[in-house]
Amino acid sequence: MEISYHITAQEFATALGRMQAAAYKQSPLYWKLALFQLLVFVVLFASFGFFSIVGYDAIREYADYYDNSLVDWAFYGLIAAVVLYYFSPIIYNMTYTRFYNNHLFVSEKSAYIGEAKLVLQPNGIFCQNQGSEALYYYEGIYGVETIKDFLIIRIDRGVYLPIPEHGFKSKQQRQQFESELNMKLQRQTISA
């Protein structure tokens, strides 16, 4: 089976961002941060409840004893931790988006941008882009997934082929391509 499509730099950058967001949500770090967020909320809620019962005079006496510096630094540290936690997805996306969406990958001169042709062959996927040709063997392909408007073929940890939805003539062609590719991938894992 063969498909030909055209992908623009904007579409490629969008696919990268969506894949990055999906990978971030699947990582164990995301769930650890979510648990940390819940813990911070419970601690803050409990501390405000405790201080409303005890009264703020106890805090003032404690702060006066340590000349306010310890309480101030603890407060600033808590605020910094909460702000860092809440903005960590944004910081993560800002730092890694610059790495992934740099000009080498997302410029109009990139081999990933422009006209592309994919051919499913018996031993792998033949990919022909602007000035480059590659044969990706089925043993090296991690899998196929759909992320919003893209069909993503994960070749390796950092190598993937995003195929935009408009690259297929119809939904039937897309489903046929995906099922045929999945069937060849399963056949490859069974024989290996």
Q: Are residues 73 and 121 in the same domain?
A: no
Q: Are residues 122 and 55 in the same domain?
A: no
Domain endpoint, select from 76, 100, 124: 100
Domain endpoint, select from 80, 100, 120: 100
Q: Are residues 66 and 140 in the same domain?
A: no
Q: Are residues 186 and 129 in the same domain?
A: yes
CA distance 143 to 29: 22
Q: Are residues 68 and 145 in the same domain?
A: no
Supply the pLDDT for residue 145. Answer: 84
Q: What does the buried/exposed string (b/e) look like for 140-156 if buried means 16 or more CB atoms within 10 Å of the residue's CB?
A: ebeebeebeebbbbbbe
Domain endpoint, select from 42, 66, 100: 100
Q: Are residues 75 and 121 in the same domain?
A: no
**Domain region containing 67:** 15-100
Q: Are residues 58 and 118 in the same domain?
A: no
List, run by run, the mean pLDDT of 10-residue segments along the chain (192 residues).
82 79 70 78 72 61 64 73 75 62 57 81 87 85 84 79 87 89 79 56
Residue whose token pair is 């992320």: 147
Supply the pLDDT for residue 110. Answer: 66
- Confirm whether 134 is domain-assigned: yes
Contacts 24+ apart (CB under 8 A), 149-157: 149/14, 150/11, 150/14, 150/15, 150/18, 151/177, 151/178, 152/15, 152/19, 153/125, 153/181
Supply the pLDDT for residue 55. Answer: 59
Q: Are residues 33 and 89 in the same domain?
A: yes
Q: Are residues 89 and 115 in the same domain?
A: no
Q: Is 161 exposed, middle or buried (0-12, 13-18, 19+ CB in 10 A)?
A: buried
Supply the pLDDT for residue 111. Answer: 63
Supply the pLDDT for residue 69. Answer: 64
Q: Are residues 86 and 115 in the same domain?
A: no
Residue 169 is classified by DSSP as: S
Q: Are residues 33 and 95 in the same domain?
A: yes
